[in-house]
Structure 1
């Protein structure tokens, strides 16, 4: 089995001790490939769901990371507290809450608003409380426990935590790192069925998202950076509103891309999806960068990199202009870099190549 062709996810049951980045390193060594990344960092002492993205799925890490997380944890209060009081303060911390990240964290230590979707008491014994929480990505559970203890007047802290899900990836899909290594060894010997059964394809990340099936005729334009328009839609599976994330798949159920809906599913018009990730292969056979309007698609190897990059403020290597639009349109505005830096001039049809640059330079000196 060629592990370099794996594009998908494997859900590991992280043990206490190693960091999430150490687990990344071990998975890379086991598979012998570099394209591996985890989704949602866990502290060394936290166990549970650590989803590993492999191959092309690495480019979906930021998308899946937006998904809600679920945890089961144990909190200890410093003073006696009744079950009714615990439920009362848990309810107080359900919904939108303020959080200040801990001193040792990967983000700036500034006050943030996070959403706790549910916070339930599962069991209580003396001052120990077993709880389940579903929350927005980026919520610090240790800080949540400390804040509950402070507001209750009893004081408290988190003593144990296990993540049970990250978006669609739940602990019922978990395997240990040792089991994963054993599956890879079997695959090297030609027995790859067990490993394939535990590799989830890229569409699994969008199991709970609305989906749009595109026509084959629209695939080429999308591969070259075009957004999805109404004429390219074959089927809409699920309801969505403007501004929500949707998954775009092919008629063969392969992931084409994902982006933000520009209209609702009940009111479809011209531009339907503004892509931020495209996973189709395309090859223009010429330049390393194909520009479509205000977007650039960077080539990687024999195909296009598929991740759309905004080209605002970048240099057009053909003309030397810096501008809001480095695309091929003749009407794009340009900003002259030089004596009159910062001024915006409309680009005429005659403005092509170095000649256009020199003419504009003389006109405005």
Structure 2
């Protein structure tokens, strides 16, 4: 039986104490509310591949995954960014996907093509009816990117491990060092679903008032206002700072509790509704290069069921595009001036 778990909305002091490596500090965020518990009871069913986490079969908890480590209908994929992390230890049975080569066409600055992706996924033992569970470091940023790519190519049952790698490790659960060996699977990528992806002309039409859509910038407040060009220690990539006109700022971190697990469905709806995002209008999410935006896309599209797409060109593309409008409250538009 999965235990009842209590989730907490972080108080400002707790937020300031947590450093999110390689992106933004939680101290830059400003979730509202005191540290009040939200007891979300969950029940467990281990018959087949159906988790009961309250997230409509798109999120599994650690108990469920541990109970299904030997289930041939479940395949686990790690998508972490720290070099050597997978090799030092991974969830037993997990195959390693490298975000910047396995999910991305590095030459064309695009997602991996369907033929190559089919080869990788089949090598991981995935069949058409396989339950695919992704997890990774950095609170599942890049695992969520992987889920987005899987969805684009028509995978039917893709889920995230709640809390990702950090929660699994902090919970003292088993890690393996030997990569698994799988018989080749039968899964084949479908034609890419472009409705899950926004391009520069799409967001520019929204910025110019020619298209009705909600733009959600999920970067830190400091990035959104233009106070910083990029998170500390991260390559800037864009020559201008600020955000797309009309975008609302809901930093991705507001969707997770201190332990990295998703907040309850009720909390998530409230967080986005407070910013005017209620699913009544199509949504495009963006960040700096697309990975943090994928985390918010997963929340909006997979957990809340809203029509949402990722602008994976994100601020790197938009902020470097000649002639497009931006908003920059901090006044640091070009080169820090």
State the TM bucket, normalised to the shorter chain.
under 0.3
Q: Which structure has the bigger radius of gyration?
A: 1
The answer to which structure has the higher strand fraction is: 1
Q: Compute the TM-score of the two structures, normalised by the length of structure 1.
A: 0.24
